[in-house]
């Protein structure tokens, strides 16, 4: 059966009209209540944002409709935009950085790979629009449930915590890609159409504030195979944000909380299975016949010359001899004539489903990152033995000996290396790390012919700058 999802038709920071028909409102209510199925969504019917008294006073009084609204959010994250394993950060920024070579003919992806992006690039616009669409829905939920009277206290706290997490998570990606961005917390289209960009430091502060509120609202219960964010997911993102913001003590303490609540997967072959012990937050594959991850579909090479992405020689050279991550998380394919062998990310291994249920879900947050966050924070704090211990946990799991780094500078280099070989092709980590460590220009200028130092940020969509002059100035170089 085909399920229709009614979603908000939003463009950038233009959040729609308030004067909408009762017919569309009733459709939204019916669909949110009975028609949504997160795992078998195939078609969309766009309607304008139904912002009126009926929606505000009815939808958020029923827990099931709020849950459906969240299911829509997570579905869109999985299928579209920066978070998606399809054309999201994992593949696009992997190709933008030094992880992936792109062999396809998609003009948009070629522009990303060759650093030919302009302010009117479709990917730049679609990421921006989809991100603020999700933020708008999260804000709508927050405002709606705060006015609701029929929800229980537990429901109210759970829904608000999730919405705050979503808002913070999406803003964390926006600020990493575009730099200074607006931090949107309201649903007034009049106000939102006039917003200005905030300094990155201010955005990080607001992300952290939202996450601290969410920590107090959510519990540690894992619901739905860890497909819904709980307190550990919030703390995992919070530790990352503390690290990016340079709050070393808080990054160490928060990562320690997450590490203490989870168990690292000891078998490297099980890390990307849906029931891996170290998974903190993941997306369940969807569709009546699609029971595998988009990551596997995009990364695994099954023929040459029709391959899309392949791991770069630079990434392959980063693995030390004997590293199990190289042997277990990297696959290869040789052309029929035997002249070409390409290597691909093989963390997710299912391209054709052979069981009634998928064995792999798309992992968004996992425990290994928390060890690396704590190691980096400890290095900055001068805790050399502690930083070494965290790095060694992952090295030893990968079949390698302890790190030889014994100074702050040496350990920071060791952490950057471990992040490269542990988190490769996962949600743009490598790109964010090159920027954080101020290495993007150094690393990419020698391997990317069109690279410019201003490419460290993507441009703000030109159409939005024209519509809202308050978003100016454009990022340098565009």
Can you read off the two tokens belonging to residue 456? Answer: 């460290």
Burial 461-472 (b: 16+ CB within 10 A, else e): bbbbbeebeebe
Reported as a single tens digit per residue, the pLDDT across 447-466 is 999 999 999 999 999 999 99
* Axis-axis angle for helices 248-261, 231-245 (nearest 10): 150
Residue 101, pLDDT score:
98
| Residue 271 in domain | yes
In 262-383, which residue ranges form alpha helices assigned H by DSSP?
294-299, 313-318, 324-328, 367-381
**pLDDT tops 80 at residue 209:** yes
| Residue 432 in domain | yes
**pLDDT tops 60 at residue 33:** no
d(CA 441, CA 433): 12
- Any residues with CB less than 8 A from the CB of 394 and at least 6 apart, and which? 368, 371, 372, 418, 422
| Residue 229 in domain | no
| Residue 327 in domain | yes
d(CA 188, CA 203): 20
Q: What backbone phi and psi angles, to 5 degrees, belong to 348?
A: -95, 130
Query: Minimal CA–CA distance to 127: which of 179, 192, 173?
Result: 173
Average per-residue pLDDT in the chain? 88
Reported as a single tens digit per residue, the pLDDT across 245-304 is 999 999 999 999 999 999 999 999 999 999 999 999 999 987 655 668 999 999 999 999
Query: Minimal CA–CA distance to 161: which of 221, 99, 231?
Result: 231
Residue 53, pLDDT score:
41
Domain boundaries, position 278: 261-347+364-446
**pLDDT tops 60 at residue 32:** no
| Residue 250 in domain | no
| Residue 376 in domain | yes
Residue 9, pLDDT score:
33
The pLDDT of 394-412, averaged and rounded, is: 98
Q: Are 231 and 218 in contact (CB under 8 A)?
A: yes
List the CATH number of the domain containing 333.
1.25.40.390
Percent of the chain's residues with pLDDT above 70? 86
Q: Which residue has the higher pLDDT, 456 or 19?
A: 456
Query: Minimal CA–CA distance to 195: which of 206, 2, 376, 413?
Result: 206
d(CA 338, CA 274): 35
Dihedral angle computed from the Cα positions of residues 401, 407, 412 and 415, in that order, rounded to the nearest 10 degrees: 10
Is the alpha carbon torsion for 86, 90, 94, 100 positive or negative? negative
| Least confident residue range of 45-54, 118-127, 368-377, 405-414 | 45-54
d(CA 201, CA 315): 31
Structure confidence at residue 42 as a pLDDT band (50, 70, 90): very low
Q: Are 16 and 189 in contact (CB under 8 A)?
A: yes
50: which DSSP letter?
-
Is the alpha carbon torsion for 383, 386, 392, 397 positive or negative? negative
| Residue 295 in domain | yes
Residue 5, pLDDT score:
32
Reported as a single tens digit per residue, the pLDDT across 54-107 is 445 567 999 999 999 999 999 999 999 999 999 999 999 999 999 999 999 999
| Residue 234 in domain | no
**pLDDT tops 70 at residue 52:** no
Residue 408, pLDDT score:
98
Q: Are 225 and 274 in contact (CB under 8 A)?
A: yes
Q: Write the CA distances from 173 to 177, 229, 240, 373, 427, integer angstroms.
A: 6, 17, 12, 17, 10
Residue 46, pLDDT score:
30
pTM here is 0.89
Considering only the C-alpha atoms of the chain, give the largest distance between any 2 of them, rounded to a whole number of Å: 69
Reported as a single tens digit per residue, the pLDDT across 136-147 is 999 999 999 999
The pLDDT of 378-406, averaged and rounded, is: 98
**pLDDT tops 70 at residue 11:** no
Residue 54, pLDDT score:
40
d(CA 222, CA 218): 11
Percent of the chain's residues with pLDDT above 90? 81
SS percent in the chain: helix, strand, coil, step 5: 55, 10, 40
Residue 332, pLDDT score:
98
d(CA 26, CA 429): 42
Q: How many domains does the chain have?
A: 1
């Amino acid at each position: 059966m085909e399920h229709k999802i009614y979603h908000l038709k939003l463009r950038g920071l233009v959040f729609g009209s308030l004067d909408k028909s009762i017919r569309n409102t009733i459709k939204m209510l019916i669909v949110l209540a009975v028609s949504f199925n997160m795992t078998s969504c195939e078609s969309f019917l766009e309607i304008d944002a139904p912002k009126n008294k009926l929606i505000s006073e009815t939808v958020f009084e029923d827990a099931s409709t709020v849950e459906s609204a969240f299911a829509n959010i997570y579905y869109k994250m999985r299928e579209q935009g920066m978070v998606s394993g399809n054309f999201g950060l994992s593949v696009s920024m992997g190709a933008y950085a030094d992880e992936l070579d792109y062999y396809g003919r998609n003009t948009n992806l070629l522009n990303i790979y060759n650093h030919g992006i302009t302010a009117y690039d479709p990917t730049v616009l679609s990421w921006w629009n989809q991100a603020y669409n999700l933020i708008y829905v999260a804000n709508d939920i927050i405002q709606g449930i705060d006015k609701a009277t029929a929800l229980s206290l537990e429901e109210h706290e759970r829904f608000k915590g999730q919405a705050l997490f979503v808002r913070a998570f999406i803003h964390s990606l926006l600020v990493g890609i575009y730099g200074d961005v607006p931090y949107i917390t309201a649903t007034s289209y009049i106000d939102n159409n006039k917003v200005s960009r905030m300094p990155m430091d201010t955005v990080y502060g607001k992300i952290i504030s939202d996450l601290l509120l969410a920590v107090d609202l959510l519990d540690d219960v894992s619901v739905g195979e860890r497909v819904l964010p709980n307190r550990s997911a919030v703390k995992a993102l919070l530790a990352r944000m503390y690290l990016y913001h340079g709050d070393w003590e808080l990054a160490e303490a928060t990562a320690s909380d997450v590490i203490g609540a989870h168990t690292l997967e000891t078998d490297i072959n099980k890390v990307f299975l849906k029931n891996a012990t170290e998974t903190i937050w993941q997306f369940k594959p969807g569709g009546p016949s699609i029971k595998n991850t988009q990551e596997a579909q995009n990364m695994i090479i099954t023929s040459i010359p029709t391959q899309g992405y392949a791991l770069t020689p630079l990434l392959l050279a980063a693995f030390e001899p004997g590293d199990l991550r190289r042997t277990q998380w990297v696959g290869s394919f040789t052309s029929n004539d035997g002249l070409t062998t390409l290597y691909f990310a093989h963390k997710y291994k299912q391209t054709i489903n052979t069981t009634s249920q998928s064995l792999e879900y798309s992992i968004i947050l996992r425990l290994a990152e928390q060890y690396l966050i704590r190691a980096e924070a400890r290095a900055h704090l001068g805790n050399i033995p502690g930083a070494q211990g965290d790095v060694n946990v992952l090295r030893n799991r990968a079949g390698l000996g302890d790190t030889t780094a014994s100074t702050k500078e040496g350990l920071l280099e060791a952490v950057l290396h471990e992040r490269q070989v542990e988190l490769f092709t996962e949600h743009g980590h490598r790109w964010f790390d090159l920027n954080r460590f101020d290495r993007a220009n150094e690393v990419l200028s020698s391997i990317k012919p069109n690279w410019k130092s201003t490419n460290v940020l993507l441009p703000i969509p030109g159409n939005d700058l024209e519509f809202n002059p308050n978003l100016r100035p454009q990022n340098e170089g565009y």
